[in-house]
Amino acid sequence: MNQRSAKTVAANPRPRVRSNPPARRNPPVPEVVFLIGFMGAGKTSVGRALGERLNWIFEDLDDRIERRERRTIAQIFRESGEAAFRRAEHSALQELLDGLHGQPRIVALGGGAYAQPENSALLQAAGVPIVFLDAPVEELWERCCEQANTAGTQRPLLRDPDQFRRLYDTRRRKYAEVPVTISTAGRTVPEVAADIAGRLGLKRAEMQVEQGEVE
């Protein structure tokens, strides 16, 4: 004899509705980019050109340090030493990161800034895009010599090309840790700026908000 199952079967079972998978969202476009590299790599000139191209604020971290310390970088090194400068540099970088507030900007770091573990750790923790601008050391040497002659300034490292190369080799190993490297060798500033904008998918801002201006 057949026995009826104790389970109740609905007369009109509800049809299963297949839920569509969530739409894939494009990764957010960054609103700040940090440029690193050795002296002569073009961080300041490319940063300015990229800022103009995107209508973003451009800032050189060394300028912020000088405003905070009320001394030039050369004076800080001469009067207080490199250790004091590195502390001021780290504080200025922390201040900059804390004050971004969605204002799109390009930031150029000094040649030794990213080579300091406390600074690279700070930037990595912040998750900000970092671009390494590179060129052959011979070309960097020639650019620095030309800049020094044009500006009438002296850089201690430019007195010794071997020391220049050794420092470049040491710092380059740290620079090369970032995922985006762009060569500036034999290229114009606008070409490099356009390359960065394309690689990172950077968008032009409709209106630039000046640093310190209330939105």
Q: How high is the pLDDT of residue 44?
A: 95
Q: How high is the pLDDT of residue 116?
A: 96
Share of the chain above pLDDT 70, in %: 79
User: Among all chains, which residue has been given the structure tokens 């990764």?
Assistant: 27
Q: How high is the pLDDT of residue 101?
A: 77
Q: Which two tokens stand for residue 66?
A: 């000088």
Output the average pLDDT for the chain: 84
Whole-angstrom distance, CA of residue 118 vs CA of residue 116? 6
Residue 170 or 6, more confident? 170
Question: What is the band of 214 on the pLDDT scale with cuts at 50, 70, 90?
Answer: very low
Q: Which of 6-20, 124-138, 143-157 ranks highest by mean pLDDT?
A: 124-138
pLDDT in tens, 17-57: 454 545 444 445 568 999 999 999 999 999 999 999 999 99
Q: How high is the pLDDT of residue 207?
A: 63
pLDDT in tens, 160-198: 889 999 999 999 999 999 999 999 999 999 999 999 999
Instruction: List, in order, residues 6 or more apart from 166 with CB less than 8 Å away.
Output: none
Q: How high is the pLDDT of residue 156?
A: 54
Q: Would you say 51 and 211 are in contact if contact means Cβ atoms under 8 Å apart?
A: no
Domains in the chain, ordered, with CATH? 32-200 (3.40.50.300)
Phi then psi for residue 176, to 5 deg, are -65, -5
- Choose among 64, 73, 59: nearest CA to 95: 64
Q: How high is the pLDDT of residue 184?
A: 96
Residue 124 or 209, more confident? 124
Whole-angstrom distance, CA of residue 70 vs CA of residue 90? 16
Q: Would you say 15 and 28 are in contact if contact means Cβ atoms under 8 Å apart?
A: no
Q: What is the mean pLDDT of residues 70-93?
A: 94
Q: How high is the pLDDT of residue 122?
A: 96
Q: How high is the pLDDT of residue 24?
A: 47
Q: How high is the pLDDT of residue 179?
A: 93
Q: How high is the pLDDT of residue 212?
A: 42
